[in-house]
Amino acid sequence: MTVPPRLADVVVIGAGQAGLAAGYYLRRAGVDFVILDAQEAPGGAWRHAWPSLRLFSPAQYSSLPGRMMPAPASGGYPSAADTVAYLTDYEQRYQLPIIRPVTAHAVRRVGERLAVETGARAWHAKVVISTTGTWWRPYVPHYPGMRDFGGEQLHTADYRGPEPFRGKRVVVVGGGNSAAQILAELSHVAQTTWVTLRPPRLLPDEVDGRALFDLATRRHRAALAGQNADGIGDLGDIVAVAPVREARDRGALKAEPMFSAITPDEVVWADGSTAACEVIVWCTGFRPALGHLAPLRLRAPGGVISTDGTRVLAEPRLHLLGYGDWTGPASATLIGAGRTARQMVGEIIAQL
């Protein structure tokens, strides 16, 4: 028996922070909408982050519209668990219409509407907002020999804490905040080597994530104006949160250039030098989780989906929010998601 589709003016796919920010503005505008989320419980990707992760900005600069994130009782920067608690409270406070666990497998064009297929049933919407994040598509670059490595390889997304690596020789790959924070704690229990593609940029102690959001906005504006954005810091720069500062002062944050190959028990640089290791931790980022949009065939040559702000050029009934700067300055951060969502919902109301 075929289940008839349900109708909504707007369907949001994903209830991480970006989906909630969209929901906040949609609710305020009185739009008929629903949010579908694949998770069993609130919090998006933050539910899966390693326990010691610290946000790179203080609570008041990591907040969604309408409600400030409370400062953590323990002081300092919020943890992943603090962020989950905040997002849980947020979606309840604003009574956002979230249905979970529901995975959107495919989005297709059906006449005037877009159909969001979820397995059990489809939702037919005038506008779809995709806010599915990146955590679900970890990225690991390819290096010769990596398949034959005899030790353990894991990605940031698999990392839970330092204990399994006690006493081991560990190579940490990547020059961003995740790599620096993981390296900082691993270096207490393991013999670590840090390798980065480019020399890592560690920000001065007094610069936190808030300044980075402003820098990201300036970078975005400069790029839009066709100006050279080099020299402007970005969200990849490393914020000196307390554990990173401590590791730096201990001398544990010395980076080597990227190796060029992997053997069963070591990494090898182009000049022939080597480092023996039992573990490689790839802190090499994520890619947008956009598989559900494949039936729409939106990717231009080169793999990108072109947008004007959040609106997809090849399918104007579809908006993307939260994947990176291409859908709004810092829109993949807690504070940036709200700014971009506000503008997006304004456009959608005009569209409806």
Query: Taking the chain, what is the end-to-end CA distance rounded to the nearest angstrom?
Result: 32
The H-or-E segment that residue 218 falls in is helix 209-224
Name beta bridge partners: 196.
Answer: 257
- Inter-residue contact 106 to 295 (CB < 8 Å): yes
Find, among 174, 240, 217, 190, the residue nearest to 336 by Cα: 217
User: Residue 135 or 326: which CB sits closer to ligand FAD?
Assistant: 135
Asked whether the CA dihedral 294, 297, 300, 305 is positive or negative, the reply is negative
User: Residue 114 or 262: which CB sits closer to ligand FAD?
Assistant: 114
User: Residue 154 or 275: which CB sits closer to ligand FAD?
Assistant: 154
Distance CA 157, CA 284 (A): 10
User: Residue 74 or 228: which CB sits closer to ligand FAD?
Assistant: 74
The phi and psi torsions of 128 (rounded to 5 degrees) equal -115, 135
Which single residue is written with the structure tokens 């006449």? 111
Which residues here bind ligand FAD, judged by CB under 6 A? Answer: 13-19, 36-39, 44-46, 49, 55-57, 62, 103-104, 131-133, 135-136, 156, 178, 209, 289, 292, 322, 332-334
Token duo for residue 1 = 């028996």
- Strand 169-173, strand 33-36: pairing: unpaired
Which single residue is written with the structure tokens 């081991």? 168
Distance CA 211, CA 126 (A): 38
Token duo for residue 139 = 């990225």
Q: How far is CA 16 from the centre of its chain?
A: 10
User: Residue 185 or 266: which CB sits closer to ligand FAD?
Assistant: 185
Cβ 229 to ligand FAD, closest distance in Å?
20
Cβ 148 to ligand FAD, closest distance in Å?
28
Cβ 180 to ligand FAD, closest distance in Å?
11
User: Residue 133 or 328: which CB sits closer to ligand FAD?
Assistant: 133
Cβ 36 to ligand FAD, closest distance in Å?
5
Distance CA 323, CA 16 (A): 12
User: Residue 200 or 322: which CB sits closer to ligand FAD?
Assistant: 322
Angle between helices 17-28 and 334-351 (to 10 degrees): 40
Cβ 72 to ligand FAD, closest distance in Å?
13
User: Residue 132 or 307: which CB sits closer to ligand FAD?
Assistant: 132
The DSSP secondary-structure symbol of 255 reads E
